[in-house]
Structure 1
Amino acid sequence: MFKMKKTVGLAIGAVVLTTLSGTAQAFDKKVSVSAIAGTTGFGADASWRFHENLAVTARYTGGLDFDTDFDEDGVNYDADFEMKASSVKMDYFPFGGRFFLSAGIMMPDIEANVVGTPDDDSTYEFNNRTYTAAEIGSVVGTATVSDGTQPYVGLGWRSSHQSGLSFFSEFGVVATNVDVSLSTTNGFENNDPRLQQDIRAEEQSLKDDIDKLPVFPVAVLGVTYTF
């Protein structure tokens, strides 16, 4: 009985290996290069589809800057965002065609320089305490939405199984790790521990507002050529 099971197991293994070998030989490996634009900027990627159902993709985007403003506890903040990101990921084509699921790592650098001024042009209120604009000057600092190495998941459409020119799209999310750092232009907090504590409370308030979104959306459109 043991010899029969062993023989059957070897036969099944041989069939599986033969099938995989036949699939690998049947699929013509392709390389795709793309010019892209999206929520993390403008750039390019390269993808190697080494199997009917699998590809490895590397990407870099940057150069997208935009300004926005928002209010927080009577302070108007002007934020100047800079966006750039690189990623390496595995793409899985479950049906062997254009549609794929993607997972990997992204190295985003999504950060804003912020400048805050009081809405009434005269007083700030930090942590329920009031300070004059003459004392504080302006509030300046940085607000980081995501940086370092973060997990990424997405889905998309790419004709990397066929040679030629085509359109390409992908939609995904990258994890955020929000951080806020503030100071005043007059440096008054350096000599006032109470103001320093209140500035830290303002940082936490801003961080809590930004951190309501645990992921940053990544949307990409582009033109790709497959060799």
Structure 2
Amino acid sequence: MKKTLGVVCGSVLLALAGTSQAFDQKVSVSAIAGTTGFGADASWRFHEHLAVTARYTDGLSFGTDFNEDSVNYDADFEMKASSVKVDYFPFGGRFFLSAGVMMPDIEASVVGTPESGGVYEFNNQNYSAAEIGSVIGVATVSDGTQPYVGLGWRSSHESGFSLFSEFGVVATNVDVSLSTTNGFETINPVLQDDIRAEEESLKDDIDKLPVFPVAVIGVTYTF
């Protein structure tokens, strides 16, 4: 029985080794654009069904505004991210499934002003804009090291130019930090508690989705 099992295992290993040797390893470099910015990646397809890819994107920013209770917030988002992942090509062609880690830095600088009447409402308490000024802070959507999964299409098994695309998600870890331009909360503990409650309210609004969508398109050259 042991001898038979050894023969079977040996045959499987020889078959895998033969497949690995028969595959012509390729390296692909890509110029890309997507929901985390503009940048490049490099992919080493060392097996018919496997590749390792590293990526960096940056330089995407946009502004938006939203309302929370009686406060109008202007948010200026900045996006950048790097990632390392393994791509699995189940059919040996262009289609792949991807899993790995991403190091995103997705956050917004926010400025809040009263919706009307020069009065803020934090935690059901009213404060005049004259005494606290504007509300400023940072809203983080995702940062640190987060898990990533996705799928895509890349002709990394064939030399030359081709188009490339990928769609995936990265986990979020939302955080909000607020203060006032006049710093009145440093001497008023009630206002400080109310601003902490406002942070939690904003965090709950942003944290409705546990993942951030990552969509990428690009041009690839495979050597």
Partner Cα distance (1:104, 1:159) in 2: 20
Partner Cα distance (1:121, 1:147) in 2: 37
* Counterpart check, 1:86 vs 2:79: no
Query: In the alignment, which residue of structure 1 is the partner of 2:137?
Result: 141
User: Offset of 1:11 from its aligned partner?
Assistant: 1.6
TM-score (norm 2): 0.99
TM-score (norm 1): 0.97
Partner Cα distance (1:46, 1:88) in 2: 10
Amino acid at match of 1:27: F
Matched-pair contact (CA < 8 Å) for 1:92–1:101: yes
- Mapping of 1:38-187 within 5 angstroms? 38-187=34-183
**Could you tell which deviates more after superposition, 88-97 or 10-19?**
10-19
Matched-pair contact (CA < 8 Å) for 1:121–1:133: no
* Counterpart check, 1:197 vs 2:193: yes
Aligned residues between the structures = 223
Query: In the alignment, which residue of structure 1 is the partner of 2:16?
Result: 20
Query: In the alignment, which residue of structure 1 is the partner of 2:205?
Result: 209
Amino acid at match of 2:159: S
Partner Cα distance (2:118, 2:10) in 1: 81
Task: String of CA shifts for 1:19-40, please: whole Å, max 9, x gaps.
Answer: 1111011100000000000000
Amino acid at match of 2:212: F
Task: String of CA shifts for 1:195-227, please: whole Å, max 9, x gaps.
Answer: 000000000000000000100000000000000
User: Offset of 1:121 from its aligned partner?
Assistant: 4.6
Question: Which aligned segments of 4 or more residues in structure 1 are displaced greater than 6 angstroms?
Answer: none
What percentage of residue pairs aligned between the two structures are identical? 80
User: Offset of 1:47 from its aligned partner?
Assistant: 0.2
